[in-house]
Structure 1
Amino acid sequence: MDGDQPEGAAELEHDKFSTTVTFLCGQFVKKSEALYDLISAAVPAIEHLDSGARAMEVLDEKLKFVPPDTVLRFKKFYIEYADRFPDRKFSVKQLMEAVWEEFRSDPHGAHIFVALHEMFATPARKPILLELLVVSIVSAYEALLAELVEQFFKVSPEALEKVSRDREKEFSLRDLKSLGTIEDAVDLAISRRVEELMFGSFAEWRKFFIDRMNLSFEDYAVNWEALREVFQRRHILVHNGGEVSKRYLSNVDSSLTAGLTVGQRVSTDEDYVRAAIEQVATFGVLLANAVILKFRKGDADRVASFVAEFSYGNLQRGRNSAVVKCSSFIDGLPIAMGSKMIARVNSWIARSSMNDPRVNGEVAAWDVSALDPKFLLARHCLLGNIDESMTLVRSLHSQGALTVQNILEWPLLEPLRGSASYREFAQSLDLPSEWLEPENGLYLNPKTRVLHRQSCMRRSSSCVPFTETDDVRYSACQLCRPHRDRPQLAGTSTDNEP
């Protein structure tokens, strides 16, 4: 910022920057989740379109003007021909030649031949969808990256002055005539810088973040080489028809290109697409939050809360690699040890699901004697101590420290859910009242008078539902900021909770 700018104004600008980037990051996460939803919802429908049964339905439609007896004779011929081959896999060319020989003298033979040719000429739709999803997640990241760079120049306009000699003359005479104010000139310069960078390569984006913000892409990738491959694959899908190029082979780690040659088409299946979305989404979230901390170091708690929520959503959906990476990121933040411990437990859960043999030893050596009883529960669950875990679950629930929603939803308790004691206990629970309340509900801690959102990590079981008509003074939680997206509430302050 300009050295003459008042300190308060700079703080306000940085706060606006942090809030904007957090919002953009949230939108990016929603887009990535939408792509996961497309896999689950659209792939079964696409597979039906690609199925042999659907193909025969389409063929029947094309042959509706052919006499029924001729159609029946053709179908019988087709089935008998296909049955000659193992798994009914045969050469389309040979089939077409056989059909032509069989029906060339039939008055409707040409109709049958053309309809069959059109059926086989239609490309499979599933690979098209999966490739589009890879392109979409990279495009979503590119949009986020462009926004990050724009926000960087807005919060650090002095960076615009760091240009090479050939760019010292930034604007033409025509530009100067059209620009009304200095602010207009700055906006135009920022727009040009962003556009210029986004036309560059992934390597050039990486260099920009290293040079301008001292942030290394590698530090925020789940698997750096796998992430690079996703971006290189997107390039050949868009620009080379999905065929391997020399550039692809030179830019991708050899362990990921074994057996591939120039001109060969890459195979993109569901597992690859899910892994690609997980790689790119996690990378985008962690990079964006690292950018926030570059300009707003005091936002470590808010950053940790956002990343923890993203990580927990991935844990619930079995995306374990993302959880491990996010937990490592949180562990490096200057935040309370309790928040770090929660991230560490989630990492152990994820690594256990990945059959990491080191987890058991790490958990066994974990001293929880001075920690909250919930961490003792976590230790017992991770070590597979079912009886001890269930004893603690009942005790914590009776004390109000463990809600019904926690019991029914926590991935931590998954090892218990197959036991008879858990099933018996779960059947005795009433429907959680919080499930019947709106998600944007507010909760007040009656002891500290701090107001929280329902989703806030700091909201304890002692908090009670709050309405804005309640005549009571309170302070707003600095982590979830319940007043952030609603009109200023009467009697609020923004003190931290003790």
Structure 2
Amino acid sequence: MDEDTPDHPPSAQKSIEDHVTKYVHVLDEFEYLTGFTEQNESTLHGLEAFFTSYERLRGTTVLATEKKAIRRETITALKQAAAILEDGGMDELRSHSLGSAPGDFFHRLCNDGVRSHLAGEATVHMFTIPFKRPRYARLYSSLLIAIVGACEVFLGSLMKEFLGARPQILKNTEVRLLFSDLASFDDLDSFKSHQIDRQVEAVIRQGGIDEWMKWFEDKLRIQKASVTRDFEAIREMFQRRHIHVHNDGRVSDLYLQKLPDLGKTAPRKGSYLAVDAEYLLSSINHLRVMGIVLSTLVSQKLSRGDATPQLDDSVATMVYDLLSAGRHELVDDLVKLLLPHFQSEAPRLRTQINGWIARSRLGDSEVEKEATAWDTSALSPVFKLAQLVLTGQLDDAQKEAITQIERGSLDQEEYDEWPLFLPLRQRFQKADQLGVTESVTERIEELVDKTEPEAMDMHKPNTPPDL
């Protein structure tokens, strides 16, 4: 049987949706942890942390005069270190920190009235911490490892769902079992499930991201370029994870071999590759986009024809939610990757509009040109209204919005919530505040009150209108 013939269990699409929802939720949690850590970096390794730690361990209070003296001498020492670094480089700075500088720093603190034991520990803090990796670096490294691990689990789940829906793909797979092993299986289905788990575990265990994506290409004809706009960044992310697990974060021969496209930008062997908040947040975005697009394409491969509109609506709603949350870069990536795969007209057009909105928020000047060239003559009125907004014709858009409210093709909630209409809401509410004209929102509310309830139920929020 051809592998594109839909014969999967009805639950396959729902299971994939559950997997990607859980995966995105996990990435959201990692994103929150990264942001939280970034906001608190200074307190993890600064002087205030030193003072707090000293007081807790010593059971004594650091006096205000002592804090002032330590801060003053620390600033002086850091200025000296910056000048040495600029003139002589890191090696010269290390020599400075191992020479007379620590002793001079200690004596200056003592002369400033700092107790000797506090001055000694402040000196150790000053001349060791700056030359060590900051404490939060270990947390960032751990988050990278966990994020890549979450992606690995997610890809394995997609593989299992696909093989569970298409077990005939395993029909030529060689299986070696002892006769006694067969007794552990209650029926053929449990045996199939066992073999699927073994197949996926072998793929995950023996390969890396390139081999895993090759599996999707061979089994489902899904290319790497169709699920991410920057696979090289994802490949580098996985290799950076490997050196943080196996080589203390330092560049290895294997890292360089796996990333030949780095060329002249490749880091030196043995150098340390840090993981910071910016790198982590970018990595999370790459993995989120890849996961959403890949799960959507796998679902399409397994979907029956009558399930396609539901899948398109689900994707359109997800893009809408991300746009409403201000995730413009994510929306831009998702729309560019997913738009060619829509098979239902209305959600495709809505998603295209939301992609234009995201790009316009990112400052893309081409949006207005593309929207101007868009032929809306045969489309629903709401798309013509969208064209007016996207091309900056706000006065005409305001009039058209009121007209559509009168006719029941646009409802109040959609006007109030869709980011498309944000320029209208901002402009005409401001005009009303200046006493120039009636707020379009107030005008629409009046029309809503006059409109028959049956007409207002024609288009639920976030539901594409009929074409």
How high is the TM-score relative to the length of structure 1? Answer: 0.74
CA distance in structure 1 between the aligned counterparts of 2:263 and 2:383, rounded to whole angstroms: 40
Correspondence for 2:448 = none
Match for residue 343 of structure 1? Answer: 351
| CA deviations over 1:184-239 (Å, ceiling 9, x no partner) | 32222122112111112112112211222222222111322222222222222332
Secondary structure class of the residue paired with 2:374: coil
Q: Does 1:29 align with 2:29?
A: no
The match for 2:247 is 240
Q: Which amino acid aligns with 1:140?
A: A
1:389 to 397, 401, 412: 397
Paired residue type of 2:14: T
Contact 1:48–1:54 at 8 Å: present in 2 too?
A: yes
Give the letter aligned to residue 26 of structure 2. K
Partner of 1:368: 376
Select which of 275, 282, 288 maps to 1:281: 288
Q: Is the 8 A contact 1:308 1:343 kept in 2?
A: yes
Instruction: Classify 1:334/1:363 alpha carbon distance in 2 versus 1 (closer, same or farther; 3 Å).
Output: closer
What is the CA–CA distance in structure 1 between the aligned matches of 2:62 and 2:365, rounded to whole Å?
Answer: 67
Shift of 1:408: 3.6
1:409 to 414, 417, 422: 417
2:440, 2:41 → 1: CA distance? Answer: 39
Change (3 A) 1:427 1:18: closer
Higher share of residues assigned helix:
2
Equivalent position to 1:331, from 339, 347, 368? 339
1:252 alignment counterpart? 259
The equivalences for 1:90-239 within 5 A come to 93=98, 96-101=102-107, 109-110=116-117, 112-114=119-121, 116-117=123-124, 120-121=128-129, 124-163=134-173, 168-199=174-205, 200-239=207-246
Residue correspondences, number = 434
Q: Is the 8 A contact 1:244 1:265 kept in 2?
A: yes
Residues 402 and 443, structure 2, Cα contact 8 Å, conserved in 1: no
- Percent of aligned pairs sharing the same letter: 23
Query: CA separation in 2, counterparts of 1:87 and 1:39?
Result: 32
The one-letter code matched in structure 2 to 1:331 is L
Instruction: Confirm or deny: 8 A CA contact 1:351 1:359 kept in the other structure.
Output: yes
Kindly indicate whether the alpha-carbon contact (under 8 Å) linking 2:35 and 2:277 is maintained by their aligned counterparts in 1. no
Structure 2 counterpart of 1:358: 366
Q: What secondary structure does 1:83 align onto?
A: helix
Aligned residue in 1 for 2:76: 83
User: CA contact under 8 A between 2:70 and 2:122: conserved in structure 1?
Assistant: no
**Alpha-carbon distance between aligned partners in 2 of 1:136 and 1:243, rounded to the nearest angstrom:** 18
Task: Output one character per residue of 1:28-87: Cα deviation in whole Å (capped at 9) or x when no partner.
Answer: 22222223333344432444334433333333444544895xx94585255135236549
Question: Offset at 1:290?
Answer: 1.1
- Contact 1:222 1:282 (8 Å CA) reproduced: no
> Any idea what the Cα deviations from partners look like across 1:373-400, whole Å, max 9, x if unmatched?
2212221222222222222333334555
CA distance in 2, matches of 1:238, 1:251: 16
Q: Judge conservation of contact 2:216–2:222 (CA < 8 Å) in 1.
A: yes
**Structure 2 residue 44 is matched with structure 1 residue 38:** no
Q: Write the letter of the residue equivalent to 1:361.
A: K
- 5+ residue gaps, structure 2, are 84-92, 433-438, 446-452
SS in 2 for 1:159: helix
Matched with 1:58 is 53
> Which residue pairs with 1:490 in the alignment?
none
Deviations 1:430-481 (A, max 9, x none): 99xxxxxxxxxxxxx979x99x9x77635x7xxxxxxxxxxxxxxxxxxxxx
Q: What letter is aligned with 2:30? A: L
In 2: Cα distance, 1:191 partner to 1:256 partner: 39
Partner SS for 1:215:
coil
Match of 1:377 in 2: 385
Please list the CA deviations of residues 350-408 of structure 1 after superposition, one character each: whole Å capped at 9, or x if unmatched: 22233334322211111222222221222122222222222233333455544444334
Deviates more, 1:186-195 or 1:403-412: 403-412
Matched residue type, 1:294: K
Shift of 1:281: 0.9
Q: Which moved further from structure 2: 272-281 or 395-404?
A: 395-404
Q: Which residue of 2 aligns with 1:268?
A: 275
Distance 1:65 1:230, change over 3 A: same
Q: CA deviation at 1:297?
A: 4.1
Moved more, 406-415 or 252-261: 252-261
C-alpha separation between the residues in 2 aligned to 1:403 and 1:88? Answer: 64
Offset, 1:284: 0.9
CA distance in 1, matches of 2:144, 2:98: 32
RMSD between aligned residues: 3.9
Shift of the 44–417 alpha-carbon distance from structure 1 to 2, 3 Å rule, reads: farther
The alpha-carbon distance between structure 1 residues 111 and 362, as it changes in their structure 2 partners (threshold 3 A), is closer
State which of 330, 341, 357 in structure 2 corresponds to 1:322: 330
TM-score (norm 2): 0.78
8 Å CA contact 1:62–1:115 kept in 2: the answer is: no
Determine if contact 1:327/1:344 at 8 Å carries over to the other structure: yes
Tell me, in whole angstroms, the C-alpha distance in 1 between the residues paired with 2:45 and 2:161.
Answer: 45
Q: Does 1:14 align with 2:9?
A: yes
- Counterpart AA for 2:268: T
Are the counterparts in 1 of residues 226 and 337 from structure 2 also a CA contact under 8 Å? no
**Cα distance in 1 for residues equivalent to 2:82 and 2:51:** 16
Q: CA deviation digits over 1:404-444, x for unaligned, max 9?
A: 4433432223434542545632774899xxxxxxxxxxxxx
CA–CA distance in structure 1, aligned partners of residues 56 and 365 of structure 2: 57
How far the C-alpha of 1:109 sits from its partner, in A, is 3.1
| Inter-CA distance 50–21: structure 2 relative to 1 (3 Å threshold) | same
